[in-house]
Amino acid sequence: MPEIWLACHGPLSCNSGNHVRSLADALTRRGLGITICVPERSSADADVPAGVRLLSFAEAAGEPLSARPDLVHLWTARERMRRWYDDLVARFGPLACVLHLEDNEVLMLRQQMGLTPHDIDDIRDGLRPLDAPDHLTHPLFGGRMLGSAAGVTALIESLLNDVPSGMPTAVFSPGFDPIFAAARPAAAEVVRRRLGIPADHALITYTGNVHASNVDEVRSLMIAVALANRTGLPMTLIRTGIDHVPLADHGADLLAEHIVALGTVPRADLPDLVHAADILVQPGRVDEWNACRVPSKLPDFLVSGRPVILPRVNLGLVLEHGHNAIVLPEATAERIVAAFHEWLPRHGQLAAIGAAGREFAQASLTWETAAETVAGLYDRVLGAPAAAVPSAAGP
């Protein structure tokens, strides 16, 4: 039985960590030996699936030579991951490496470090040095790591544009978390009573952190809720998550009267908040950020059976407007509030859309399906594993 190490750039409690944990669980049930590697141990360790081993990066790099993995699956080429992988190669010798792509890493780097596309070209060509932080991908070193990988997985086809020709690849959509699938008929009543939300208010729930790449999207949802209230449609938005970028700098203080901000809540508490919503919204434009990702919350939103509004990008390209979702050309504030006015009065149609969205998630967005796809790639890679080398000639 091959030994696979799935390595995440963050704790199991983050979105990527939840993906790694869920995939590890499904792969273990397929008979693979799976070890999850995380930067540090944390309180999320209790969620490690049965039969899956957990190691910190330091523990993994210190494992005896007899514990050498057959394959290492790295969640992105971020600097933290690149340096750790090089430590493994120094310890064990050449290792087959599958690299996972989940976001537009170049855009994240540009936004967080204030770089232009020309800057990125210069860095990638070695004409300009860059001290990239651990949580971002270096354009040059990350590119070298991609080039030396034995295979690549990605959450969406568009992320494969820079993958070398002939390299084995596999694309899978994230699956839903089963805790969102169970019916919760009393959720709306319980949540409204606990949070003091009036019975005549439409309830919107948005779960997720705010960062430089999505701050404008979250603000557009907040504006849509404010506009709905101003135009005679009483509405309350429940928000969870951490604001890594202060929304107050973007006018959030003017919108606060329509929002219940709960901050970080245990994941086990999220399903009630999602099931309580009259409608769920994934805001966003059709742009280079959304074209290269699949928001982790969307499978959970869909499987809840609540109707979902989203833009015509990533999953919005395969969902059918008016059947299993409300798909907008772009989910901007103006279009979202118009959708609220158009659809919220249609209770029967919304219920049907929610039910069809649930069916779509159960048929297409499962970790069992993802594991089948990924296991197929492992077979291809391990059948003729490439002699991996240290990921880059970087520091």
Asked if residue 144 and residue 88 are part of one domain, the reply reads: yes
Asked if residue 50 and residue 198 are part of one domain, the reply reads: no
**CA atoms of 283 and 229, how far apart (whole Å):** 18
The pTM of the full predicted model, rounded to 2 decimals, is: 0.92
Q: Which residues contact 118 (CB under 8 A, 6 or more apart)?
A: none
Question: Residue 392 falls within a domain, yes or no?
Answer: no
List, in sequence order, every beta strand (DSSP E) within the chain. 3-7, 33-38, 53-56, 71-75, 97-101, 151-154, 169-171, 202-207, 235-240, 259-261, 279-281, 308-311, 326-328
Asked if residue 26 and residue 115 are part of one domain, the reply reads: yes
Burial class for 91, CB neighbours closer than 10 Å (0-12, 13-18, 19+): middle
Question: Residue 27 falls within a domain, yes or no?
Answer: yes
CA angle 60/61/67 to nearest 5° reads 60
Asked if residue 259 and residue 305 are part of one domain, the reply reads: yes
Question: Residue 389 falls within a domain, yes or no?
Answer: no
Asked if residue 141 and residue 113 are part of one domain, the reply reads: yes
Question: Residue 260 falls within a domain, yes or no?
Answer: yes
Asked if residue 132 and residue 83 are part of one domain, the reply reads: yes
Question: Residue 258 falls within a domain, yes or no?
Answer: yes
CATH code, domain carrying 276: 3.40.50.2000
Question: Residue 24 falls within a domain, yes or no?
Answer: yes
Asked if residue 156 and residue 305 are part of one domain, the reply reads: no
Per-residue pLDDT of the chain (395 residues), as tens digits, is: 789 999 999 999 888 999 999 999 999 999 999 999 999 988 767 789 999 999 999 999 999 999 999 999 999 999 999 999 999 999 999 999 999 999 999 999 999 999 999 999 999 999 999 999 999 999 999 999 999 999 999 999 999 999 999 999 999 999 999 999 999 999 999 999 999 999 999 999 999 888 888 888 999 999 999 999 999 999 999 999 988 887 766 566 667 889 999 999 998 999 999 999 999 999 999 999 999 999 999 999 999 999 999 999 999 999 999 999 999 999 999 999 999 999 999 999 999 999 999 999 999 999 999 999 999 999 999 985 444 455 655 66
Domain that holds residue 68: 3-175+367-383
